[in-house]
Structure 1
């Protein structure tokens, strides 16, 4: 196996024309350079240099190795530059899993920000509904996953959770509903109403069921829609009322429904990012997490309660 460092010394000797000049340029002693050249010739099994007057020149074998040393040196410099770009977060690849209602209000602006700030970073996106994305992160098939997870949920070995947003639920009522004129609605006011489920099960329905249980009732679901846009359609048709998280309303609500605050208690789903713990976060992933936090903050600000009586 040829020593790469010795090949670079050979290149210095050949380009400078003498062992003494190469030693001066490299900061070595001439005897140290001579020893390295003798060791390299032993590794190569052939003479690499021949004397010419006061200097040396490369043999055919020496010229071959010098050419390869030049290529290796160029590639090494390129590798150092590439590593510096990765360390700075200007390049790299990040794989992310996300759920549907986080797409437009959180993921899209975060990716747009990444492209502006770090155009060399590639982000692979994959929708995971309805599967649990944490095993994907643990198995290194994804670098980060967005999910709904209570703050007090049990720890997951090897996974760190980063809080992004508390996504509050809002009451969605048909126009002309008896509660539509109120700026805010107590959850108990909806106890006797027929309900439309935006989610059929899972972590997005759990905050609704928990809040209703705290208010002393179980909602009577008469329709299961499977998504929040369809739920609004059923509400508009007068089939029932629904609770929809603010991210589910991020693109706006139908003109034939009314959206109101809910209180006593206010259901909230906690949106977090799951990343692998126990090792430094790669710069590209760190940049994506910053962009997600900024998108979450912008979403939270945009969803501040509107003036009383607004539709």
Structure 2
């Protein structure tokens, strides 16, 4: 064959000639024609401005310039070999890094279960994870600082340009009640049924809480206790100090002395949960997305 693949390059040919001691032997080792090898060496000599081989009656040997170039060519070859191996590891998920983002309640069960399954299947891939509001993760994704994020688009607004949303599930809202509460055994409740309750919320502005759609519909539940932390909220509920909204994804983390009942979707609609990726996600992000979808179906089967 007269042409040579880019992967060998000029340095690969140079090293083959230096090792074999002739253009003909190097061509045979590489699977090229002798004239192709000769041309590549001439190109390299033109680029370096030096004669790299002394032409002998039988074969060639390195010139002084060739001996200087030799260790550098070997270093280039070795670095390219490492790069090829690392790129192959990315393709086969034997290595690499996956950077995840997720909002807080998604990290109660959805993300950890998917992450555990991903680790079992691809232990060579390092996974990092940051938590925070959806709007933060959408911005990080658009900036190329995370590879995949689990978000609630309604909470974070429309996806920024350059972000693709993949629907995972529609999450119902639950109300957390003290175990002895009169509504604790019910399958579903309306907010009107809890009109006399003190609601424990995480923000003074209900528009910035899970109550946002209910407030937009004109409902204004009575709030008596502000607690930012889930442990504090559920502790107050267990003590009978009030009730609070809990997203279904966080249900697995609720303490046993607290009862959960589904809120009717006309009062607090289900919220969409999505995975967000760049338009062309990495191989690792694509594999993790598949596990997120499977985990979402297990946690909250969709009708």
Which whole-Å deviations, capped at 9, do the CAs of 1:102-143 have from their partners, x for residues lacking one?
223122222222222222222222222486332222222323
Cα 1:159–1:46 change in 2 (3 A) is: closer
Match of 1:192 among 175, 191, 196: 196
Task: Give 1:284 shift.
Answer: 1.7
- Cα distance in 1 for partners of 2:36, 2:163 equals 51
- Cα distance in 2 for partners of 1:122, 1:203 equals 37
Please report the RMSD computed on the Cα atoms of aligned residues, expressed in angstroms: 3.2
Output aligned runs, 1:227-242, within 5 Å: 227-242=229-244
What's the counterpart of residue 263 of structure 1? Answer: 264
Q: Could you tell me whether the CA contact under 8 Å between 2:133 and 2:156 is conserved in 1?
A: no
- Cα distance in 2 for partners of 1:47, 1:209 equals 76
What's the counterpart of residue 307 of structure 1? Answer: none
What's the counterpart of residue 17 of structure 1? Answer: 21
Match of 1:132 among 130, 136, 147: 136
Q: Secondary structure at the match of 1:261?
A: strand
Output aligned runs, 1:220-231, within 5 Å: 220-231=222-233
Match of 2:172 among 168, 174, 181: 168
Q: Secondary structure at the match of 1:87?
A: helix
Task: Give 1:266 shift.
Answer: 6.0
Q: Which runs of 5+ in 2 are unaligned?
A: 1-7
What's the counterpart of residue 308 of structure 1? Answer: none
- Cα distance in 2 for partners of 1:108, 1:163 equals 18
Match of 1:87 among 91, 94, 105: 91
Task: Please report the TM-score for the alignment, with normalisation by the length of structure 2.
Answer: 0.81
Bigger strand fraction: 1
Cα 1:227–1:265 change in 2 (3 A) is: farther
Q: Which runs of 5+ in 1 are unaligned?
A: 305-311
Match of 2:213 among 179, 202, 210: 210
Provide the aligned length of Structure 1 versus Structure 2: 294
Which whole-Å deviations, capped at 9, do the CAs of 1:76-96 have from their partners, x for residues lacking one?
222222111112333222322
Q: Could you tell me whether the CA contact under 8 Å between 2:50 and 2:65 is conserved in 1?
A: yes
Cα 1:50–1:300 change in 2 (3 A) is: same
Task: Give 1:198 shift.
Answer: 4.7
Cα 1:166–1:23 change in 2 (3 A) is: same
- Cα distance in 1 for partners of 2:207, 2:289 equals 22
Q: Secondary structure at the match of 2:182?
A: coil
